[in-house]
Amino acid sequence: MSDAPDSGVDSVTLEVIRNGCEAVAEEMNATLVRTGYSPNIKERQDCSTALFDADGEMIAQAETMPVHLGAMPYSVAAAVEAFPPETLSPGDSVLLNDPFRGGAHLPDLTLVTPIFDADGDEVIAFAANRAHHADIGGSTAGSVAADSTEIYQEGLRIPPVKFEAGTGAVAADGTPEGEVRDDVLSMILANVRTPEERRGDLRAQVAANATGRRRFRELAAEHGNDLAPALEEIKDYSERRMRAELAELPDGTYEFADALDDDGRGNEDLVVDVTLTVDGDAVTVDFTGTAAQTDGPINAVLAVTASATYYAVRCVTDPDIPPNHGCYRPIDIVAPEGTIVNPTLPAAVVGGNLETSQRVTDAVLGALAQAAPEAVAAAGQGTMNNVTLGGTDPRDGSPYAFYETQGGGFGGRASGDGMDGVHVHMSNTLNTPAEVLETAYPLRIERYELRPDSGGAGESRGGLGLRRDIRVRDHTARFSLLAERHESHPYGLAGGGEGANGAAYLVDDDGEDLEKLPAKHTRDLTAGSVVSVRTPGGGGYGDPDDRPDEAVERDLRLGKLTPEVAREQYGYDVDESDDDAPDGASDGDTDD
């Protein structure tokens, strides 16, 4: 830390404690992934971990899911409000998922565990983690129903409830032991389609927080009275760094609007309107003018909107600023109640966390691009492409629930092309490997490839989207798709072109399109059905005329660009008789 500390703790000790806290959060995440039961946790890593101080302010996080991390402080605050520290005992933990009491959407279960001092008298910190469970009940297997109209249809809603109770016993390493409350666990398992998978993932969450509790107590034992003032100074340091970065932006008011295609219930072009004001070393992000909350499940609660906003602002500042509560202090958010960025009960919200968070990110970054044009990439795919399939596994008669988000194109940027086939912005998960998917579920991956020509044209090309075809094997499955950018396109910047939009089809055995599917859609698929999800590409950055010929040639050689599109977008003539020229073709749907 370069600034002189005000805490009375020397700079070297501060840096040791800061890195120690970050190491604890990372080890918590490693424990959660390593002990997770479902492919969604152990393969896709759809989970996050963090440490909070005794006041419930974040002090360290594992670098995992952006949409979780900016929102998790709301969950910790809700847990502390329901169970003040003086009512907790060593070994306790609190579980919640209620979006209107600190959660994000119902599949995301957050576990908050108090960490007591060595005497067990005082809470000195909290360990918290959030994991996306592949099913939490509701009308559709996978609990991501594209046709929900109120939260009561979306699954089991859990307010802050004590999940573990301290036993009074102490483990060999000196940490207090807790015991999962059977009544709470039984209530959860009775309301989900895959109870053993849920039991396994909840045990992994307990294990992750136990790791955090143990490691943080070791840190506290090592640094004693220096710990509490050091945690305050670490947050203050991040705040100073963030304010210094914001002060480098030109003062002014910057406006940008983007829109969601629809809510799946006939309401279209739902605007996310941003007015961003930079004033010295602080920024205000005002969503006044954003569409009213709507019938379909694309309403994002305030915790999700805040998470997306914090993430976007951090994107244009120094990535080396330690991520903690101090980073958020200079950022003020205005989100009117009753809008798709701050809905009220009983709004359906499952897609708000998944899709609207992406559009909030696109809109805030679009405004920031006016203040810091070279620091902002063109729009990425702008959707998580949520796919759920569920039913009875014909191999053993057991119920299953499959959930996955699909990667797409990242936007081009001043420093280079966008990445191909990656999870963008608020989603930072991995895919489910085909081998794992086909082992765990009665499904088969028939096709998995990049979509040529899907990246927006530019001096820096947008990243390519993906095509992923999934076959239902030997049973009827309930399918739900919740996606965006099937009508609108990811925007380009600095003269760059738009990325291709997404699409979904039922296809035949040869992969030829049979029926185009709505972006928000739920239906039964009979045995042998193949659903094909095509994800958007990223927008381009800079004038396509400035793209070097060698970059176009490379894209042609790799099959990322077809000769026809090379001529159309870049004015590049390809000798069709050249044996090295690719003869592949686009999906034919990049202009849907």
Per-residue pLDDT of the chain (592 residues; tens, 9 = 90+): 545 556 688 999 999 999 999 999 999 999 999 999 999 999 999 999 999 999 999 999 997 777 777 789 999 999 999 999 999 999 999 999 999 999 999 999 999 999 999 989 999 999 999 999 999 999 999 999 999 999 999 999 999 999 999 988 888 777 788 999 999 999 999 999 999 999 999 999 999 999 999 999 999 999 999 999 999 999 999 999 999 999 999 999 999 999 999 999 999 999 999 999 999 999 999 999 999 999 999 999 999 999 999 999 999 999 889 999 999 999 999 999 999 999 999 999 999 999 999 999 999 999 999 999 999 999 999 999 999 999 999 999 999 999 999 999 999 999 999 999 999 998 888 888 999 999 999 999 999 999 999 999 999 999 999 999 999 999 999 999 999 999 999 999 999 999 999 999 999 999 999 999 999 999 999 999 999 999 999 999 999 999 999 999 999 999 999 999 999 999 998 775 354 444 444 444 444 4
Q: How far apart are CA 22 and CA 102, in angstroms?
A: 23
Choose the final residue of a domain: 210, 238, 266.
Answer: 238
Tokens of 263: 């809510």
CB 8 within 8 A of CB 230: no
Q: Which amino acid is at 5?
A: P
Other CB atoms within a 10 A radius of the CB of residue 399 amount to 15
Q: How far apart are CA 427 and CA 69, in angstroms?
A: 11
Q: How far apart are CA 144 and CA 66, in angstroms?
A: 19
3-state secondary structure of 101: helix
Q: How far apart are CA 44 and CA 28, in angstroms?
A: 16
Indicate the pairing of strand 47-53 with strand 58-61. Answer: antiparallel
Instruction: Please check whether residues 35 and 184 belong to one and the same domain.
Output: yes
Q: How far is CA 509 from the centre of its chain?
A: 33
Angle 36-441-463 (CA atoms, 0-180°, nearest 5)? 80
The answer to whether the bond into 346 is cis (omega within 30° of 0) is: yes
Choose the final residue of a domain: 238, 258, 292.
Answer: 238
CB 399 within 8 A of CB 193: yes
| Crossing angle for the helix pair 195-223 and 182-189, to the nearest 10 degrees | 140
Residue 452 in domain: yes
Q: How far apart are CA 135 and CA 173, in angstroms?
A: 35
Give the residues across from 450 on adjacent strands.
466
Ramachandran sector of residue 133 (left: φ over 0; alpha: ψ -120 to 50; beta: rest): beta
Alpha helices of 321-356 — where are they, by DSSP H?
Answer: 325-328, 350-351
The pLDDT value given to residue 579: 46
Within 8 A by CB and 6+ apart from 30, the residues are none
Distances (CA, A) of 138 to 168, 297, 387, 457: 37, 13, 16, 42
Place of tokens 């959930």: 403
The two most distant CA atoms of the chain are separated, in Å, by 80
Residue 363 in domain: no
Residue 155 in domain: yes
Distances (CA, A) of 535 to 214, 466, 532, 553: 42, 5, 10, 24
3-state secondary structure of 220: helix
Residue 512 in domain: yes
Nearest one of 246, 345, 331, 326 to 286, comparing CA atoms: 331
Residue 164 in domain: yes
CB 104 within 8 A of CB 67: yes
CB 52 within 8 A of CB 113: no
Nearest one of 569, 567, 589, 574 to 495, comparing CA atoms: 569
CB 52 within 8 A of CB 77: no
Within 8 A by CB and 6+ apart from 124, the residues are 53, 54, 115, 116, 117, 216, 220, 227, 228
Q: What is the reported pTM?
A: 0.93
Choose the final residue of a domain: 213, 238, 263.
Answer: 238
Q: How far apart are CA 32 and CA 42, in angstroms?
A: 8
Q: How far apart are CA 466 and CA 304, in angstroms?
A: 26
The pLDDT value given to residue 581: 46
Distances (CA, A) of 215 to 28, 60, 219, 473: 9, 13, 6, 45
Residue 29 in domain: yes
The pLDDT value given to residue 7: 64
The pLDDT value given to residue 1: 54
Compute the chain's Rg from CA coordinates.
Answer: 24
The pLDDT value given to residue 69: 73
In the chain, the number of structural domains is 2
Residue 268 in domain: no
Residue 322 in domain: no
Q: How far apart are CA 27 and CA 527, in angstroms?
A: 42
Which structural domain, as residue segments, surrounds residue 570? 377-592
Q: Which amino acid is at 250?
A: P
Angle 514-518-523 (CA atoms, 0-180°, nearest 5)? 80
The pLDDT value given to residue 5: 59
